[in-house]
């Protein structure tokens, strides 16, 4: 929340959907992404 750009996107009331993606790799890393629309 300390990033002005991320904070604005998170708090924008016009978003009504959220998507989350999670993927694991063979070396044990986990990648997570989040999108708003």
Which pLDDT tens digit goes with each residue over 4-26?
Answer: 988 987 887 787 889 999 999 99
Two tokens, residue 36: 């708003």
Burial class (CB in 10 A: 0-12, 13-18, 19+), 27: exposed
Distance of alpha carbon 21 from alpha carbon 3, whole angstroms? 21
36 near 18, Cβ under 8 Å? yes
Distance of alpha carbon 37 from alpha carbon 25, whole angstroms? 27
pTM exceeding the 0.75 threshold for the entire prediction: no
């Amino acid at each position: 929340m300390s990033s002005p750009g991320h904070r604005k996107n998170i708090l924008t009331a016009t978003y009504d959907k959220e998507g989350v993606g999670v993927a694991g790799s063979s070396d044990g890393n986990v990648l997570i992404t989040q999108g708003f629309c």
